[in-house]
Structure 1
Amino acid sequence: MANFVSMQLSTYISDLLYRYECVIIPGFGAFLTRYRPASIDENSNTFNPPSKVLSFNRQLQVNDGLLANYVASVEKCSYESALQKVRNFAARLISELNSGNTVSLDKIGKFSLNEEHSIQFEPLHKQNFNTASFGLASFVSPQISRKVETETVSTQEKAPIVLSPEKKGTRPYLKYAAVAAIAILATGFGGMKYYEGEVQKYNFAERQKANSLMESQIQEATFVIENPLPVVSLQLPKEIGKYHIVAGAFRMEENADKKIDQLREKGYSPMNIGTTRFGLHQVVYASFKDRIEALNKLREIQSSENPDAWLLVQEVE
């Protein structure tokens, strides 16, 4: 029996899958998307547009902050409140599965337990999370039969060329004159080709000499620039990634500065990324451009130093 979980969180997860390749439900698992190009099923003559294949990984359960931050931004609540909603959602999913029910998430797919009590996921195949294929659907086209036309070539016998003996009274020297003219033309053509070849060889040799002379002159030349322009040093702003591992939030900026000094002494690259809408100064261990690299560092910090550290996904100006 399928139990449809109609919580708003399933809609939030669906929204995020259009924009991200990994959406984690803390304490439950992660949805992963993988690009699949357009394809043709030759058996059914079905044309499929480019899409994203959806899968589920039970091993990825560490909170990366993506889902909770999205819930907080949409519902206009605090991050802690949104994280609690996500945890309650995960607990309800696990409870329904342990009761032997098949849980369906709207626009995503179905969950169930097999005989070994492992979670099985069946994605909703009609849902395409590839934004580039918006509005495109699979369609069946009738098979096109191509008729090959063969060209018939008629063979006709050509009339043979008959050489008749010379008649009396004809002038045979005309024949020899024609042969001589052809020989002269052939000789003249061959001579012309030989002349052109010699000209090309001469030009090539002269061009090689000119190149060698130019290279030697360039190597011997000395350039003196009077009144050189002053050196201009440009300082470009450092580009910061949007994945931040948060160490804490402080009401007083002095306390945030003290935290930054402490983390810098430990070898981190901390910084104050600004204040929240509640007026708190957010201090991060480091910022990353790559999400996987940020998650690996987050797990390291949570296991060795601060179990309350979490990942913030936000563009910093």
Structure 2
Amino acid sequence: MQLETYISDLLYRYDCVTVPGFGAFLTHRVSAKIHESSQTFYPPKKALAFNEQLQQNDGLLANYMAEVENIPYSTAVNKISKHVKSIKSYLVEGETIQFKNIGELVLNTDGKIQFHPSNQINFLTDAFGLSDFNSPNISREVFKETVEAVEETAPISLTPEKRSNRNWLNYAAAAVVVLGLGGIGAATYYSNTIENHNQLAQEQANDQLDTKVQEATFVISNPLPAATLSLEKQSGNFHIVAGAFRVAENSKKKVSQLRELGFKARTIGENRYGLHEVVYGSFETRAEAQRELNNIRRNHNRDAWILIKKLK
């Protein structure tokens, strides 16, 4: 069984993939960076880690395996369990487990699983097509010495220009006359603009008033009360599956039965095998779905599981 293939596929879509009874592979986003000494540019990526403490089955891996291999969910869980036992036996014997494109697993001196991630594949879909590359240093020409040499051979000197006071007085008088004429013209233009604007606004207001007067107005003394409809729309990508049915009528009967028991059951369409899926409810977060799943397995259906699916 190519367990690492299923884990690798799911790491592109999710930040946590749990292998029941073994541990969880976790990812977190790392920004793009530059290695200063080697001038190497690294694109953003998902960094991999492993947590041996997270072993509870969340249904993600088993459900994906069941869909790919076209087997029942319970069979997929049993296959994972057998494979995990085999991996643990190899680790106890001191062997290193290779998960292709994911990393290496080995037991340390304390008997804990130590994980060495692989850098062959970037699981961040936003960085698809990007790879590491080196950029040589940029050489810049320095012209400082050339400029200094030119300044020494051909210095630039600034000589103030002499002007007569009489010419300055003539220019000042002409400027005063021009400014005065400009101010009078600007004031006249501004006054005419304001007057035209006010006249246009008054005409528009009169037209609106005539229109409102001509419209018929009806007043109902005892209006009917407004009807308020309360429609509850479920949302969220975490669904607790109650079952899948080949016949659509059977899925509707199942929804009715679950609603009588107080669940917010509904159908979420057909899966890839043409079966009509019925869910107990949908939730916004994995934590909410997991709490409800625990309650359902305890009191109603031990075979219920979580489906992570974005509905259209």
One-letter amino acid matched to 1:194: G
What per-residue deviation string (whole Å, max 9, x for no partner) do you get for residues 219-239 of structure 1?
Answer: 99738489xxxxxxxxxxx78
One-letter amino acid of the structure 2 residue matched with residue 156 of structure 1: I
Deviation at 1:193, TM superposition (A): 4.7
Instruction: Answer whether contact 2:101 2:119 (CA < 8 A) is retained.
Output: no
Structure 2 unmatched runs, 5+: 218-232
Alignment of 1:304-315 (within 5 A): 305-314=300-309
Higher relative contact order (CA closer than 8 Å, sequence separation 6+):
1
> Which of 62, 65, 76 pairs up with 1:71?
65
More helix by share: 2
Cα shift at 1:310:
0.7
Map Cα deviations across residues 126-179 of structure 1 (whole Å, 9 max, x no partner).
321123434433233332232332344553335665789xxxxxxxxxx96x66
Find the counterpart in structure 1 of residue 265 from structure 2.
270
Shift of 1:46: 1.2
* TM, length-normalised to structure 1: 0.70
Distance 2:274 2:171 in 1: 102
From 242, 245, 270, the equivalent of 1:247 is 242
Which residue of the partner structure matches residue 212 of structure 2? 222
Q: Distance in 2 between matches of 1:49 and 1:252?
A: 49
Letter in 2 for 1:182: Y
Q: Which amino acid aligns with 2:84?
A: A
Tell me which of 175, 188, 205 is aligned to 1:186. 175
Q: Deviations over 1:107-144 (max 9, x none)?
A: 10122334443333221123211234344332333322
Unaligned runs of 5+ in 1: 1-6, 165-174, 227-237
Give how far 1:286 is off: 0.9
Structure 1 stretch 43-52 or stretch 94-103: which is displaced more?
A: 94-103
State the partner residue of 1:117. 111
SS at match of 1:222: helix
Cα contact 1:63–1:311 (8 A) shared by 2: no
**CA separation in 1, counterparts of 2:17 and 2:63?**
12
Query: What amino acid maps onto 2:52 in structure 1?
Result: R
- The equivalent position to 1:32 in structure 2, one of 26, 34, 38, is 26
Q: Which residue number in structure 2 is paired with residue 230 of structure 1?
A: none
Corresponding position of 1:50: 44
Instruction: Give the distance between the partners of 2:163 and 2:130, measured in 1 at CA.
Output: 75
Is the Cα–Cα contact under 8 Å of residues 38 and 50 in structure 1 kept in the other structure? yes
What is the TM-score when the length of structure 2 is the normalising length? Answer: 0.71
Q: Given the alignment, which residue of 2, 13, 24 partners 1:19?
A: 13
Q: CA deviation at 1:47?
A: 0.9
Deviates more, 1:216-225 or 1:126-135: 216-225
Q: Which residue of 1 aligns with 2:156?
A: 156
Partner of residue 198 from structure 1, selected from 187, 196, 202: 187
8 A Cα contact 1:241 1:290, kept in partner: yes
Task: Measure how far apart 1:10 and its partner are.
Answer: 0.9
The alignment-based identity, stated in percent, is 43
Is this contact kept in 2: 1:63–1:310, CA < 8 A? Answer: no
User: Per the alignment, do residues 146 and 291 of structure 1 end up closer, same or farther by CA in structure 2, a change over 3 Å counting?
Assistant: farther
